Every structure is written in structure tokens, then in C-alpha cells.
Amino acid sequence: MLRHLVFVPALVFALSSSADPIEGKWYGKAGTPLDQVDLGLEFKTNEKHELKAYLYEPVCNFYAMELPGVIKADGETYALAEYGVSLELKDGALTGTIMGPLTPVALHRTNTLPAEVPVPDLPKGPGPKWKVKLAAPIWATAALREGVAYVGTTGGVFHAIRIKDGSVAWTFSAGRPMFGEPTVTDDAVYFVCDNGYLFKLERTSGKELWRYDLGDGRVDRVMPHPTVFAWDFKAPRPVLAEDIIYVGSGDGSLHAVRAASGERVWRFVPPKTSSLLNVGGTMVEETGKVRADAAISGPNVIFGSFDGSAYAVDRATGEMVWKKETRARVDSSPVLAGDKVLVGTFGGILAALDAKTGAVAWRRVWWGSAVVSTPVSYGDLAYIGASDLRRVTCFDPKDGRVLWRTDVYGWAWDRPLVTENFVYIGVAGGSPYDMRHVPSMTALRRDTGRIVWRWPVPESGFVYGFAASPAIEGNTLVIGALDGTLYAFPVNGGTT
């Protein structure tokens, strides 16, 4: 693990008489006692005589990141609306809020601000038992059942791979890319494809039993790119409950489909809304897409949309029960934790909603990072990955209190795999990018977050490594990589 850096506030040299009193380096704490991090700001006047702010936030790997906009001063108060900054300079301290009113901050002058440190030398773990090339990038999580891994690729081929040795049991040509995890039962496999269909295949042979038209075969998709940030690389897993499949569509609708026949029960179309997404400093309108899994909550099914809302729909009638605006697109799948549903947004908020009413129980700022990972509820706690936050976080779903947070040095986009003693996470990397992300398959202690082993992946292309979640059966962990390789790792090797 990285050694924790401690920065002791110190007086700096006297500023010139023409300088603004806020100019210089400041460091301290941001957040509430439930989730508090180290944070620094540096204020400098540019050649246009504008007061600019630069963010130092080790938890999200921001080092001298220039914040948008210009600091507006009014006596001893300073504001930067573009980043939700409101500060007061009083008695040698800066206090106020950052990233909006949810996040208090208290800073003092310092001579030193943090800099990025190298990735530590960590145990590489057991290495893969086997690997098989599937010829096209694997963004989807594999589903495992009775010794077989089921997974689709962006090459348009769905695979059934034997877990014992990586040999092919069967393949099915779906014809277009697949980004979502399948649902597998004793006799069938269900998955969605970018040609607009929900497929049902016979599990043992791969024979097509039916296909259902989701109506989104012409919906566009933007893959990760160095300068275009409206990334869209997920698809929903079909959710099966009482012989009904619930699945979202790229056109923003939610479908209820009979598992036996592929017949539509109902189709819910949300009220037409859209959300604004900050893409490289430009606000872009996001229309509704449903790219994440739905969640079953008693008589209701809950899902999130790119239109900036979460919805609960009556499972029997398809009528809306409640709607909650999230103010940003929802990439993270809603997850039940007791009487709450956990929802993450691309706008950098993790929230807990009342599952019956949609009322907000608590909200947490995710420190400038999109919340695209899906949380996993395990016992009384929950675990979640991150985007630019680059951390795996263990938190209490009752109030959002953070118990531990561990740097995994890259994008932990999908949900963690949580077992009794360990948390496993696939990590992606990308270059060039504003901050360092390096890929790996990583195992952490569930109780402390300590990294037990980290199996690195060599650089290959702009985005590489693992965007899918690992899956486990017996003593084998299976995960697909963005270079088209499906890997199997021993679960117990090197985990102490």
C-alpha cells in the first residue's frame, strides 16, 4: 500500500501588496466525518489578471488540475460557481464548501502540496490458470453455471467456454456487439445485443429459442475516446423474476417479457426528459438510454436512465410508482440494501433512496469521479468501484459512512466480486489521459481493503485491461479483458 502523506500547514512567504490575500497554497480536509479526505487548492493570478484555482486531491488523483472558471472575490468571500466553490477567508483559514453544498472544506496555508507517487511493488498473485482468445474485446461480465462460462464480445459472437480448461462448448453468432452480462438458468441463457434484440438460447447447445425486439437497434454508442467523454460501454443484464424478464433498452424504455415465450407483457416509456452532461467543459444533452440492470423490490422493478432519473414501476401493470431526478445520467445498476436502493450517477453522486417512495435517505459526493460501478451489498456493508476516483470503497449503506477506501491505480468500472474474505476487482487503464490509470486484476482483504495481490496487464491501445466484473465458480475466477482474452484465475492462490 502507499504510505499516507502528511502535510503540516506552515506559513508561506509574505505576498506582495498587489496580490490577493487568497493567493498561494492551501491544504486541509474536505467532507463530513462520514467521508472525509485530504484536499488542497492553489490560487494564482494569470496574465489576464484573473484569479484561478488549481485542485490537489490525492483521493481522486488530481494534482494541480486547473478548475474551470474564474474566482470571484467579494471582500473576504470567494466563489467559483463552475465547481461549486464557496469560501470565506477568516483568521488565516479558508472555510466553506467545494463541489456543492454537500461538501464542507477547511484549509490552512502550506508550503507544500502533494504530488503523485509511483505504483508500489505489490505481490503479483497466482497468475491465470488458463486464457483463451475470443478475437474481440470483452466488455461484458461472464455468467458461470455448472462448469461453463457464458460471455459475449464486441465481435458479435456469444461464447460458452468450459471453466476447467478454457475449451469451447459452443458459440452463437448474434451479429452485433454485446456489452451486457447474460442471465443463465438451468435450461436457458438470456442476453441483449446491439442489434436491438433480447435473445434466449438453449443453455446446453446454444440453439436460439426466441428473440425479442427491444427497439434500439439504431441507437448510437460512444466508446472510450481520449477527447470525447460521453462514454457508453454498458448494456443491461436481463433480470428474471417469476418467469418474467425485466430489461431496459437503449431507447429509454423498460420491458417486461415472458421468459417462456418471448411475448411482451408491457413496455414502460418514461416521461420525455433529458439530462445535461458536462463533456470536456461543454454541456451536452443526454437523452434516455437504459444501460444498467434493473432491480426487483417486492411488487416493483427499479431502474435508472440516462435521462437523469431513477424510476420504480409496478411489475404487474407497468405503471410508474415513483420517479426521482438524479440530475445526471445513471450508469450504475440500482442495488437493494435493506429498505434502501443504492444509485450512482455519472455526475459523481452516490445516493441511497427509499425503495418504496424514492425519497433521498442520503447522498455523497464521489470526489469528482463518475459513479459508474455497481455496488455490491454483502452482510451489513456495501462495496463499490469507481471511475477517476480509482478506488474500491467499503461503506455502510445505512448512512454512507466510509469504512475503508483503497487505491487500485485504475478505472474500477464494474461491480466488485465480494466473498467472505476477499474483494476482487477488474481494473482498466488508459493512455493518454489526464491522470494515470494502469490495469490489473486485483484482490483485496474484505475487512481492511489491503491489496493482497495485483496481477498487472501490459499497455495495449487507448483503453486496456478489464472493464468487466470477475465471476466465480468453485475455486476459479473468470474475467474477460479488453484485448479479447478470457482469463481464469485460481481463487485461493496467493490470497493471505
3-state secondary structure 409-452: CCEECCCCEECCCEEEEEEEEECCCCCCECCEEEEEECCCCCEE
The predicted pLDDT at position 493 comes to 53
3-state secondary structure 60-90: HCEEEEECCCCCEEECCEEEEHHHCEEEEEE
In terms of Cα–Cα distance, which of 150, 153, 244, 247 is closest to 206? 150
Grid cell of 443 as nine digits = 484482490
pLDDT tens by residue, 123-176: 999 899 999 999 999 999 999 999 999 999 999 999 999 999 999 999 999 999
Question: Residue 35 gets which letter from DSSP?
Answer: E
Give the number of other Cβ atoms within 10 Å of residue 17's Cβ: 5
The predicted pLDDT at position 273 comes to 59
Confidence band of 434 (pLDDT split at 50, 70, 90): confident
Give the chain's length: 496
How far apart are alpha carbons 276 and 65 in whole angstroms?
23
Q: Is 110 exposed, middle or buried (0-12, 13-18, 19+ CB in 10 A)?
A: buried
* Residue 14 in this model has a pLDDT that exceeds 80: no
Give pTM, 2 decimals. Answer: 0.92
* Residue 78 in this model has a pLDDT that exceeds 50: yes
**Domain limits of the chain?**
24-109, 130-490
Q: Are 252 and 269 in contact (CB under 8 A)?
A: yes
* Residue 282 in this model has a pLDDT that exceeds 70: no
pLDDT tens by residue, 184-225: 999 999 999 999 999 999 999 999 999 999 999 999 999 998
The predicted pLDDT at position 277 comes to 55
For the domain spanning 130-490, the CATH number is 2.130.10.10
The sign of the torsion formed by the CA atoms of 14, 18, 23, 25 equals negative
Give the CB-side neighbour count of residue 19, counting CA atoms within 13 A.
12
CB within 8 A of 488, min separation 6: which ones?
128, 129, 130, 131, 163, 166, 476, 477, 478
Q: CA 414 from chain center: how many Å? A: 6
The predicted pLDDT at position 229 comes to 82
Which residues lie across from 485 on neighbouring strands?
A: 133
The predicted pLDDT at position 12 comes to 36
Q: Are 51 and 70 in contact (CB under 8 A)?
A: yes
Rounded mean pLDDT of the chain?
A: 92
Give the CB-side neighbour count of residue 327, counting CA atoms within 13 A.
7
Q: Are 184 and 191 in contact (CB under 8 A)?
A: no
Peptide bond into 270 cis (omega under 30): no
The predicted pLDDT at position 286 comes to 64
Angle at alpha carbon of residue 270, lines to 268 and 274, rounded to 5°: 150
E-only strand ranges, 289-348 = 295-297, 300-305, 309-314, 320-325, 335-337, 340-344
Confidence band of 326 (pLDDT split at 50, 70, 90): very high
